[in-house]
Amino acid sequence: MKAIDDRRLSKVTPIETPYGPAVEKTFVSAESCLREADVYRRMEGSGLRCAKLLEQKEKSLILSRLFGEDYVSLLARQEREGLDLHPWHSLLAWTISFYEITGLIQNDMNLRNFLFCDSEAVGIDFEDCREGDAGGMLAELSAFVLLYDPPMTENKTCIAGLIRDRAMEQRYCTEESFGKMQEEKLRQLLERRRLKKISRAV
């Protein structure tokens, strides 16, 4: 069966198992596979919504398949249909619980790493997780939101404001430090995008 997202380094392929629909995620290294499995174990039994780790192999994991809309599509849809803040509140609640339960930040807050399933956010992709600053994690989320095409729209600015307010409410950072971290993340993402464009052109 065709992989779900061919552009990434790891490969995610839908499969059928005796436990029901699943995906097999194949990693580039055994280390990233171990890291992701470890995060699934930290979440297990915590009540945090996530896929179920069904089987662990050296370089791949079998995970229960989640059915939902990824947040890149959801954001694009809301640009056409109007802003609904519920999925964003749900995403923030999930991310904050993830940090509190695992003690880790996700460290790759691109919106393809979150699915909206049955009216609730669920995170996926934990191979880059590490200990870190929760304010920085939310500032990265906000920077990603702002830069999806078309960038910096009224909706996106509103979602970024919601993320900033929540980061302050949680006492992860001040408004000023959030602004600085977000600016730095925006700079890094724009630089990464510029380098990608150059490498595609050569």
Ligand X SMILES: Nc1ncnc2c1ncn2[C@@H]1O[C@H](COP(=O)(O)OP(=O)(O)O)[C@@H](O)[C@H]1O
Binding stretches for ligand X (CB under 6 A): 4-5, 8, 10, 12, 23, 25, 51, 63, 65-66, 70, 112-113, 124-125
Closest to Mg ion by CB, 5 or 175: 5
194: left (phi over 0), alpha (psi -120 to 50) or beta: alpha
Q: Measured from the CB of residue 129, what is the shortest distance to Mg ion in angstroms?
A: 12
6: left (phi over 0), alpha (psi -120 to 50) or beta: alpha
Q: Which residue is nearest to ligand X (CB)?
A: 8
User: Which residues are paired to 116 by β-bridges?
Assistant: 69, 121
Scanning residues 4 to 23, which ones bind Mg ion (CB under 5 A)?
A: none
Round to whole Å and give the CA distance between 162 and 118.
Answer: 22
Q: Which pair of tokens denotes residue 59? A: 């370089």
Closest to ligand X by CB, 123 or 135: 123
User: Which residues are paired to 60 by β-bridges?
Assistant: 26
Q: Which of ligand X, Mg ion, none sits in contact with 66, Cβ below 5 to 8 A by type?
A: ligand X
Q: Which of Mg ion, ligand X, none sits in contact with 5, Cβ below 5 to 8 A by type?
A: ligand X
Q: Which pair of tokens denotes residue 7? A: 């552009």
Question: Residues 171-177: contacts with CB within 8 Å, 24+ apart?
Answer: 172/133, 172/134, 172/135, 172/138, 173/133, 173/135, 173/139, 177/135
Is residue 125 at the binding interface for Mg ion, with CB under 5 A as the rule?
Answer: yes
Closest to ligand X by CB, 9 or 190: 9
Closest to ligand X by CB, 116 or 172: 116
Q: Measured from the CB of residue 165, what is the shortest distance to ligand X in angstroms?
A: 27
User: Which residues are paired to 69 by β-bridges?
Assistant: 116
Q: Measured from the CB of residue 175, what is the shortest distance to Mg ion in angstroms?
A: 30
Closest to ligand X by CB, 112 or 177: 112
Q: Which pair of tokens denotes residue 200? A: 């595609």
Scanning residues 77 to 116, which ones bind Mg ion (CB under 5 A)?
A: 113
Q: Which of ligand X, Mg ion, none sits in contact with 102, Cβ below 5 to 8 A by type?
A: none
Q: Please give the residue ranges that form the binding site for Mg ion (CB under 5 A).
A: 113, 125
